[in-house]
Amino acid sequence: MAARKNSMEENVPPPSATTTKPSTKPSTQSHYVTAVKPAARSALSTQAGSHQSMTAGRKLPQRSMMPSGPPAKETEAEPKTAVPSLPVDKAQQPTVLSNHNQQPAKNLGVAASSSSSTNSLFGGGMMRQGWSIDNFEVGRALGKGKFGQVYLGREKKSRFVVALKVMFKEELKKNGVEHQLRREIEIQTHLRHPHIVRMYGVFHDATKVYLILEYAPRGELYRLLEQKGHFNDAETATYVTELASALIYCHERKIIHRDIKPENLLLGIYGELKIADFGWSVHSPNSRRATMCGTLDYLAPEMVENKPHDETIDIWCLGILVFELLTGKAPFHCTDAEGGQMETARRITHISYTCPPSMSEGAADLIRQLLVYLGSHRLPLKQVLAHPWIVANKQDRSRQLTI
């Protein structure tokens, strides 16, 4: 089954993405497994299969995409937290975006400019001060997208395992998403939460931009859902608890993710959920936004109707996610035979869906309180955590590994 398209990039890479790897000799996969602490070995081997095509289990429906271009340039204030860094010597630390005296646009240099060359567009000072690809051993590919690929990597001096997201500058320029990338970096480098993927730093060379990300050994939640078909109440309530906690953290900092879906949720070494891919996220102190973005199955009514939106669109996405995790299908999804995207959009704006008889009444009640037409009437995230179905079914995440 072909992977569902990502809202920021299609899952079919350009020719350069399939033929070009970072310019260093890659290490073998077994080399990583022997170098990482013994407790992490099983998780590393688990993810080795998470990026392969699944043949077992019920197949999820193909995701429909809203035909929208790059988001309009929006101005946001920068979050006020410390800048993360890898555990290496200070001389080896990357240049990342600072919330003090540095100006992100100048340091990263990814603001759109049709008259600038590729090198001047992405700046030149970062390579002299921070990382280069020579600081890393690069292993197998973890995934690929329209702008490049994600690789397993390890910083040579500290032997710290990371994920390297490698994007091609020409593809970023051609699709007009330089500003979107800069915003993603500005936001994600400042987020510190156990259920959000860390971004440790960023660097670039003549042709590529590299994001240094936390490695999530168990891969995408979507792949696990695809393999199992659906989750039970306890599994779903636990994932929802972890996601709601991370969204509360984001919303308190005026950050809206805007693209919550199983493909953008990764699983850590213990199976814990982590939000990834902040490509559509926005820091919005003024609350209301107007950019169309996201995946059609997960779009809130206000987005389908091109109305301004706020952080409550993430609450709507949470409701869609609960339904999909329990049933294996998004509540408003329509096949082409049923009317396709037009019928899906109509069902979203009319809140037309049916919970299957197999769904527990507690889960159905939570979904009904999340999938509400008016964002202001949706159940607040802190009340989601206190909902009786969540309280009765969530489980404490085990911190023990089976080797």
Binding residues for ATP, as ranges, are 146, 165, 214-216, 263-264, 277
Cα 235 from Cα 338, distance rounded (Å): 31
| Segment holding 242, helix H or strand E | helix 233-252
Cβ–Cβ contacts within 10 Å for residue 102, how many?
Answer: 14
Rg of the chain taking only CA atoms, in angstroms: 21
Instruction: Give how far Cα 185 sits from Cα of 7, 234, 297, Å.
Output: 17, 34, 26
SS3 readout for 49-118: CCCCCCCCCCCCCCCCECCCCCCCCCCCCCCCCCCCCCCCCHHHCCCCCCCCCCCHHHHHCCCCCCCCCH
**Chain Cα centroid distance, residue 90:** 29
**Chain Cα centroid distance, residue 369:** 25
Whether 259 is catalytic: yes
Residues 6+ apart with CB under 8 A from 316: 298, 300, 301, 370, 371, 372, 375, 378
**Reduced to 3 states, what is the DSSP secondary structure of residue 331?**
coil
* Among 259, 297, 310, 314, the one annotated catalytic: 259
Cα 14 from Cα 174, distance rounded (Å): 12
Annotated catalytic residues are 259
